[in-house]
Structure 1
């Protein structure tokens, strides 16, 4: 019965450590629990069977964790869960609405310094000149550089 507890704790600890490193990056409860289960397994090995067998369990546990990590990294098992696509488009790349310097519109979100505005019923992404602009403020186009539209609030 003692061997089943030790083997079960060793396998559970190894599984949790591998899961932490491969699937849940960062120091979280999963990795800590894996370490605790592995350490408790080694402690029980020393307690149940003495120093010789306890040391053997320690060595086997370390080798098991190292082999499991090597197999997990070489098997590239994490790639099934990772994102493979990349975003290449930008917000204003595909709009056909022609915005010119001096055009007036209204912000529909705050500009911090980037946000959205409406010009003649067309929603586009705009940039302030570095300042904060509240929503529902009338704005004017200062300059247009490719798909970047720089605006400023209209002075009343």
Structure 2
């Protein structure tokens, strides 16, 4: 028989008789709470353990990289024969801080020396109009929009 997990202080982990913490799925839209199966709990815990390992390894790698850059400088390749190569390079990124001022400085040359990238994002009101069957412009607006969906898992420590 499996005991049902009880609500306790936020910092305590509730462990079932199975030796595993309790888990639940919370549906954000409806607030519905459904218990997770032991297999689902195990999968989430495996993912969390991997996420923590990745974060720790990334921090270690960043520290090692900083030490190598400090010791050898940019433009060097560090080779361990038969194992690996670490190439130390430097990257620069140039951004335009004041496009209007630069436009005045360059005049007619601005268009051939500056790449203009425009991003259009719909405001929530436009999305509402595209979904509103009573909106006279709805068919034309809808023809101009596409809807994409994606899914991702984000990881955080649970308090």
State the TM-score bracket (shorter-chain normalisation). under 0.3
Name the structure with the higher strand share.
1
Name the structure with the higher helix share.
1
- How high is the TM-score relative to the length of structure 2? 0.20
More RCO (CA 8 Å, sep 6+):
1
- Which has the higher Rg, Structure 1 or Structure 2? 1
- How high is the TM-score relative to the length of structure 1? 0.21
